[in-house]
Structures are given as structure tokens and as C-alpha cells.
Structure 1
Amino acid sequence: MNKLPTVLITGASSGIGATYAERFARRGHDLVLVARDETRLNALAARLHEDCGVAVNVLQADLTQPADLATLETRLRDDESIGILINNAGMAQSGGFVQQSPESIENLIALNTTAPTRLAAAVAARFARSGSGAIVNIGSVVGLAPEFGMSIYGATKAFVLFLSQGLHLELSPQGVYVQAVLPAATRTEIWERAGIDVNTLPEVMEVGELVDAALVGFDRRELVTIPPLHVAERWDALEGARQGLLGDIRQAHAAERYQLRA
């Protein structure tokens, strides 16, 4: 019997990452769990090994730190047992744009965009050579909604969606599956870390429901999975409008409305 691929999950000590770990362990996958909090990772690893009988390896890492990121890249390039990458680690934005410090901006972009991009790049060539593998990038519906007022966070999540769509076009011919998952408000610790009381939000999805829905999309090989979107045709219409817009771009000349009249 073919052995199931090992799943590497970033941000795995709690919330969405820990729930992905539990769900994949139940499916019989060995795991590599990555996060800053080694104590919580070890506790989760011990529980999943005991409950599910899978091998669970723990890697303590802060993905905003170049040395830690480089170590993880090496693991992804060299460990041929890893066949699924869950790019989940991320942080929320606390306060408006003018309240951000240079350090907070740098950390947010490093964790939400640089880390998933570099990790995907580290594993993509190996997946393409083998003709298999999956990359799951956790984005957010905020990346579709500048109206929500989280400009930097939303921009990082818009990047994650674009990256996922681009990687699908480049890698799917080589047999590599890429999925973007776009949650809305989900009950995780990301809110507390950003200084936001999640209980003040009008609607919040439980993390188990979010991950279970994302895995339905994963099993169906959806390219973009939006668990809180109840009318799927809305996404289809958005994609159709985008394609129509691209079809109306003719780059040899400026559009008539921009041309000066004599």
C-alpha cells in the first residue's frame, strides 16, 4: 500500500493550523508541525501520535527570522516524504495604517507574504519533478475587501490569492495542486494577538467548521475555497468579470476617455 504523504503545517500550535494537523492525522498522514511555541507543539504532537498513531515531528521556528525560514526551506527541499504544504502561519493587523510602525509593517509582510512565497518556492520544484504534491495557502476574504480597513493585512492576503492562482497556472500542468483558502472571521487566537476581542464581532465561524469546509474543497481540488461564501456563483461572476476586463485591455493606445482633444 502506498504511504500517504507527510503534511508540513506552519502556524500549527493553535487555531487553524492545529486543526489541520488533527484532521490530517485522523486521515493517517504523518506530520511536520512548525510554530514558535515549542511547548504547545510538543503537547499537540504527543496527543496526535497517541490518538492517531502517526509520526509527528516538531520544528520550532519564527518565520519572520531569516535563519529559521532558511532552515525550513532546506527541510522542504530535501525531505521527499513531505507531499503537502499548508502555508497557514500569519498575523493580523492591529490599528489603522497610520498607526503602524516600520517594525510592525515589516513583520506583517514577512510572515504573511514572504514566508509562504519562499516555502512554496522551496518545495515547488521537487513537487513538479515528482508530478504530485499540494500547496495550500491560507488567505482571507479581507484580501477582497479594502472596505474592511485593514489595508496592510488585506494587501498581504490579496497577494496570497494572486500567488495561489499564478502557481496553479504554472504548476498544475506538472501535476501539482494549489489551493487558496479564504476564511472570514474565525475563532482563533489571531484576534487576541492583535488586541481585538473576538466576542465583539457580529459573526464568527468556529475553527473546526472552517477547516472541515476547506478540506471538502481540498478533496474536490478546488482552486479557491471560500467557506463563508454561501452563493458560489458570486465567485464565478467575479472571475467572469475579471476575464472580461482583461479582454477589453488593448495596450497599443490609451482608451479614448484619456486621449486629449485638439
Structure 2
Amino acid sequence: MAANETSAGETPATETAETQTPGTAVVTGASSGIGAEYAARLAGRGWDLVLVARRAERLTELAARLRADTGAAVETLTADLALTADLAEVADRVAGDDVDLLVNNAGINGYGPFTEVDGTLLGKVLDVNVTAPTLLARAAVPGMLARGRGALVNVASLLAFAGDLPPGPLPYRAVYAGTKGYLVTFTRTLAAELAGTPLRVQVVCPGLTATEFHLGRGDTPVAGEARVHDEGGMPAADVVTASLTALDTGEVVCVPGLHDAEALTRWRAAEHSLRENSGRSLAPRYEG
């Protein structure tokens, strides 16, 4: 276990999201679902917000509601994180001295059989799900370290662990699952790199969630009023409750629906065994 990969129930010595004096939180993908729930919950905790998404009208409505309900200062940035110029604009804001929390929630799925999904869409999945959170974290973390406070939350997916499970009922997901696997590894490795600093780093891996995520593949925003796909799933509010609770207790990997917390310990032990048993000599099964 990495130095700051604490188990459920362990409380680190650093400030928690509850005790830290709130500053400004940047939430990407904030126009609906999990992102909108993070925005509402953080505003209720006293955080000011910068909300980022492609749908300007929804951002404007959400910002107005949060200002009225909580008194939070709320900025909006209409941006498509697959576009270089838009990503650069958001990165500039994320690097601001007031930003103490970055929630990399924006993501698109590009679901479909690998040989049939348009390559341009798959490139966009990589841009939004991998490049954007990486570069936004890079923009945020140095300033947080210099100020001695801050937190990073990356929203991945339980599909990061789906591996070779076949489609049905799971979606065709080769690229999407790969991007979420990247987020899990990136976050855990960064957390280990930052062990001993005041920064808190987390990856949250929700399973099926009751949002509109499955109503589109990500090439265009879902139009109309916010709604929930027919598959249902865990309420977005519960996902955010788990994430913020885990952030307070120092869990680097948060799986909101995982009842057996020791499963994460066994997973890390299996990884350790894999690394420790891979030596410099060729394994006998590959000889000859």
C-alpha cells in the first residue's frame, strides 16, 4: 500500500474537506449528473465554484440556482475539453491561486464495437478522458503544493476493472475502459508521488449511475432537459457522498458501491505479488 493509500476508516493527519477552509473548486462536466451533484454539494459546504461544461445554458441555470440557494460565488466556463484552445483556457483558470480543489469529472464514452466506432470519436474519448484530466491536474498541483493545501479528484469508472469481461450486459468499451484504467493508475501513482505533502488525491470509480451518460456517446452533448437513462443505477448524490467521505478519510481509491472494503487490500496484494514474482530470468512456460 502506498504511503497515503489509507484503508477505510483511517483518518490522515491533514485537513479534511470538512475542516479545511473552503476556497474555490473547479468541477468539469458540471452541467448534469455527477458533476452537477459535486457542484451542489461543494457549494453547500461553502466552496466557491468554477463550473466547466459544453452546455452553456445548463451551466447558467445551475450557477444561478447555486448562487440563490447557497450564496456561493459561481463562475462558468463553457468549454469542450477535446479542443486544444478550450482546454488551455480551463487550465489557465485551474492554475489560479484561489483553486484548492479540482474535480476532473468530464468524460465521454464512445461506446461501440472497436472496429465500428469512428476513429475521430475514439480520439475525442482519449482527449477528454485522458489528456484533459492529466493536463488540468498538471496545471493545478504545483500551485497547490506551493500553497500547502489542495485536493484532486478524478472520476473514473468501475469499468476500469472490467478487463476481458464480454459485452452484454456490459457495453462495448475497449477505449473507454482503457481511459478509465489510465485514470486509476495515474491517480494512485500520483498519490504515492505526493505522499507526505498536504495534498489529497483520489480516484472515484462509480458503477452504473442514474444519469444521462448512456443517452449519448459523447460526439455531441445530450440535448434538452437533464434526465436519467433507462438503465437507472446508483443516484449521483450517493456517488458524491462516497467520494467526499473518502476524501475526508484519505481513501485514494473510492468505489461507492463496494461493501467489502478489504477487496481493495486484496487487489493491492495481488498487484504486489505480480511485481515481486516477476524476475530477470525468463519464466519457464516461455522457454523453448
Q: What interval of TM-score do these two structures reach, taking the shorter chain for normalisation?
A: over 0.9
Q: Deviations over 1:122-148 (max 9, x none)?
A: 111111222221000000010100214
In structure 2, list runs of 5 or more residues that go unmatched.
Answer: 1-18, 219-227
Q: Pick from 14, 27, 37 the counterpart of residue 9 of structure 1.
A: 27
Change over 3 Å in CA distance of 1:179–1:2 after alignment to 2: closer
Residue in 2 aligned with 1:94?
A: 111
Change over 3 Å in CA distance of 1:165–1:43 after alignment to 2: same
TM-superposed CA distance for 1:172, in Å, is 2.8
- 2:111–2:176: 8 Å Cα contact kept in structure 1? no
2: distance between equivalents of 1:155 and 1:175?
30
Q: Deviations over 1:140-176 (max 9, x none)?
A: 0101002144111100000000010111011233321
Q: How does 1:45-194 map to 2 (within 5 A)?
A: 45-77=63-95, 79-146=96-163, 147=165, 148=170, 149-194=172-217
Q: How does 1:248-259 map to 2 (within 5 A)?
A: 248-251=277-280, 253-259=281-287
Residue in 1 aligned with 2:253?
A: 224
- Any idea what SS the aligned residue of 2:196 has? helix
- Any idea what SS the aligned residue of 2:38 has? helix
2: distance between equivalents of 1:131 and 1:240?
32
More helix per residue: 1 or 2? Answer: 1
- 1:128–1:171: 8 Å Cα contact kept in structure 2? no
- Any idea what SS the aligned residue of 2:125 has? helix
Structure-1-length-normalised TM-score: 0.93
Instruction: Count the aligned residue pairs.
Output: 256
- Any idea what SS the aligned residue of 1:218 has? helix
In structure 1, list runs of 5 or more residues that go unmatched.
Answer: none
Structure-2-length-normalised TM-score: 0.85
1: distance between equivalents of 2:159 and 2:267?
15
- Any idea what SS the aligned residue of 2:178 has? helix
2: distance between equivalents of 1:124 and 1:3?
18
TM-superposed CA distance for 1:2, in Å, is 8.0
Q: Deviations over 1:61-117 (max 9, x none)?
A: 11000000011111122x111100000000113211111111111011100111000
2: distance between equivalents of 1:216 and 1:36?
28
1: distance between equivalents of 2:20 and 2:213?
37
- 1:178–1:223: 8 Å Cα contact kept in structure 2? yes
**Identical-pair percentage:** 38
